[in-house]
């Protein structure tokens, strides 16, 4: 099936065939009956068929967005003319949230804002309310779940200042149809709000929000039945990075983020790869359940692994290979989060997260430095000239209770190939690593950090084979790596 044909069909989709019966007066709006929405259903089925053939999540959510845009535009025009009897729009319909971002999963809520001008007389306001009611009733009758709000520009900015959720939603705003001048006024006012806001307050609030959400969904990205959207390392964490980039760097594309140094090209590719995979998994979940479902339960894992063409191997089942791919994607998200935090800390010269490790600023740990209360390096030559320093920095961090700066972890991740056979056989490198394992301090945090930065798997190749590995049965709640971290922690508690 030709994707272009489907896209053209969606763009030119006209819902005049959606006929309203029993609309004798505004009081009869609740009796709206939709006689024909066959075009909508046919195009939805075409989109679904294409997705099940190629498992391309970004394409699927993009086509769903285009379809919804087309439906809302025609519905807005029809409803407005029916009530007001002209096309001189005095308010706007704005897409926000995931729909505004262009990431509309098959059964996601449709998040929209009806944006009103600041000054309206009583008659105008009554007509606008009737138009909005009519639009919403039709959407509900079509079976859509709609998250909606109606605000003036002034009220939108006022609520934005007191509610970070509304501020976040407006970061994803996108004009669909209506009075564009009202939308442009909101743009100007919102940009002014962002420019005058304390950037770090927003960033810290979103990171705190993420931490609380992680607690609600298992606190680990390696649970056997993860939540694709809200779990640790899931789509919501990627969305958080997008929101932070928009608020801090005032950019709305990955290419611009690369140009200003927020992400390296290699990291941008990793971001896109993780996002593509996670979105694809979420779309499969929605189609499988015929509703919004973001929990990757064990029965869903079996079905989706086959749908995404994962094959059995001698040593691994298809579902175990699928879940390993999932956990590697969530690990990438965690690494990218640290990178973002590091860049923002460098920009504002202030740590974003509370540092639970104690240290003395006057202490020196050559060849490393202290920056914003964390271990860092002047340049990567410290590692390239002596790869043993990669192990040494974790040793110093562990025994001196000093955190490693995310910027340094970023460098480490890009240089893990320096850990070769010679480093693995080096007596000093092995001694420093064994000292961490056998110390009286709890080594689980250091081991976890070494794993997240890919150092542990490189230093111990056998460990790399179990990263993201899970055993598909009802008796294991975490992956093999998570159990290793837990055992390390428990062992220390016995000593």
Alpha helices in 150-234 (DSSP H): 153-162, 164-171, 180-196, 199-216
- Among residues 26, 68, 24, the alpha carbon closest in space to that of 44 is found at 68
- Supply the pLDDT for residue 39: 65
Q: Average pLDDT, whole number, for the chain?
A: 83
pLDDT at 348 over 70: no
Q: Which pLDDT score is estimated for 335?
A: 82
- 274 pLDDT higher than 80: yes
pLDDT in tens, 299-341: 999 999 999 999 998 878 899 899 989 998 998 888 888 777 7
Q: What pLDDT is recorded for position 488?
A: 47
**71 burial class (0-12, 13-18, 19+ CB within 10 angstroms)?**
buried
pLDDT of 133 = 94
Query: Please, what is the Cα angle at 176 between 15 and 251, to 5 degrees?
Result: 145
**pLDDT surpassing 70 at residue 355:** no
Q: Is pLDDT of 10 > 50?
A: no
Mean pLDDT of 262-279: 88
Q: Tell me: the pLDDT tens digits for 195-235?
A: 998 888 898 889 889 888 988 877 777 888 899 999 999 99
List all residues 6 or more positions away from 182 whose beta carbon is below 8 Å from its beta carbon. Answer: 90, 91, 92, 115, 116, 117, 153
The confidence score (pLDDT) of residue 356 equals 40
Cβ neighbour number for residue 116 with a 10 Å cutoff: 25
24 pLDDT tier (thresholds 50, 70, 90):
very low
Calpha distance 368→394 (Å, rounded): 11
Record the tokens describing residue 179, joined without a space: 């009075």
Residues in Cβ contact with 464 at an 8 Å cutoff, skipping those fewer than 6 apart: 456, 457, 458
Full 3-state SS string of 76-131: HHHHHHHHHCCCCCCCEEEECHHHHHCCCCCCCCEEEEEEECCCCCHHHHHHHHHH
| Residue 442 pLDDT | 85
**Cα gap 336→271, rounded to integer Å:** 7
pLDDT of residue 494 exceeding 70, the answer is no
The answer, yes or no, to whether residue 112 has pLDDT greater than 70, is yes
Higher-pLDDT residue of 155, 25: 155
Whether 294 and 109 have beta carbons less than 8 Å apart is answered as no
For 126-160, what is each residue's pLDDT tens digit? 999 999 999 999 999 888 999 999 999 999 999 99
pLDDT of the residue at 32: 36
pLDDT (tens digit per residue) in 412-423:
888 989 999 999
Quick one: pLDDT band at residue 94, thresholds 50, 70, 90? Answer: very high
pLDDT at residue 6 in the model: 42
Picking from 118-127, 258-267, 284-293, 299-308, which range would have the lowest pLDDT averaged per residue?
A: 258-267
Q: φ, ψ for residue 191 (rounded to 5)? A: -60, -35
Express each pLDDT in 238-258 by its tens digit. 999 889 888 888 887 777 888
pLDDT in the model for residue 178: 96
Establish how many alpha carbons lie within 13 A of residue 260's alpha carbon, considering only the half-sphere containing its beta carbon: 16
């Amino acid at each position: 099936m030709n994707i272009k044909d489907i896209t053209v069909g969606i763009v030119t989709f006209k819902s005049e065939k959606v006929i309203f019966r029993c609309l004798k007066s505004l009081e009869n709006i609740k009796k709206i009956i939709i006689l024909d929405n066959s075009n909508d259903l046919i195009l939805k089925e075409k989109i679904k068929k294409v997705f099940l053939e190629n498992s391309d999540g970004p394409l699927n959510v993009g086509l769903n967005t285009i379809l919804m845009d087309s439906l809302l535009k025609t519905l807005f025009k029809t409803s407005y003319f029916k009530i007001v009897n002209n096309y001189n729009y005095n308010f706007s319909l704005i897409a926000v949230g995931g729909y505004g971002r262009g990431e509309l999963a098959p059964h996601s809520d449709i998040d929209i804002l009806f944006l009103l001008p600041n000054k309206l007389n009583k008659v105008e306001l009554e007509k606008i309310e009737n138009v909005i009611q009519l639009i919403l009733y039709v959407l509900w009758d079509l079976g859509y779940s709609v998250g909606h709000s109606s605000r003036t520009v002034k009220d939108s900015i006022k609520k934005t200042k007191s509610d970070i959720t509304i501020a976040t939603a407006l970061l994803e705003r996108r004009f669909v149809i209506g009075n564009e001048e009202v939308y442009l006024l909101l743009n100007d006012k919102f940009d002014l709000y962002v420019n005058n806001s304390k950037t770090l307050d927003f960033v810290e609030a979103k990171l705190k929000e993420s931490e609380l959400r992680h607690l609600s969904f298992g606190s680990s990205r390696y649970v056997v039945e993860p939540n694709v959207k809200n779990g640790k390392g899931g789509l919501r964490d990627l969305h958080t990075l997008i929101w932070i980039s928009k608020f801090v760097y005032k950019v709305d594309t990955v290419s611009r983020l690369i140009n200003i140094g927020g992400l390296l090209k290699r990291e941008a590719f990793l971001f896109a790869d993780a996002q593509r995979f996670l979105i694809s998994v979420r779309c499969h979940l929605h189609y499988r359940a015929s509703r919004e479902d973001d929990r990757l339960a064990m029965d869903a894992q079996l079905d989706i692994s086959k749908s995404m063409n994962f094959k059995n191997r001698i040593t691994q089942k298809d579902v175990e290979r699928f879940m390993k791919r999932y956990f590697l994607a969530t690990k990438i998200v965690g690494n990218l989060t640290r990178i973002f935090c590091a860049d923002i800390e460098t920009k504002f010269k202030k740590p974003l997260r509370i540092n639970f490790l104690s240290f003395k600023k006057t202490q020196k740990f050559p060849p490393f430095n202290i920056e914003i209360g964390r271990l860092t390096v002047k340049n990567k030559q410290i590692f390239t000239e002596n790869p043993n320093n990669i192990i040494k920095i974790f040793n110093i961090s562990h025994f001196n209770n000093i955190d490693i700066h995310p910027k340094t972890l970023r460098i480490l991740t890009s240089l893990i190939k320096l850990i070769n056979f010679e480093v693995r056989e080096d007596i000093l490198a092995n001694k420093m690593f064994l000292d961490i394992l056998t110390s009286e301090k709890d080594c689980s945090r250091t081991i976890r950090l070494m794993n997240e930065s890919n150092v542990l798997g490189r230093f111990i190749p056998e460990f790399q084979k179990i990263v993201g590995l899970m055993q598909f049965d009802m008796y294991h709640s975490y992956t093999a790596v998570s159990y290793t971290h837990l055992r390390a922690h428990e062992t220390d508690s016995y000593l």
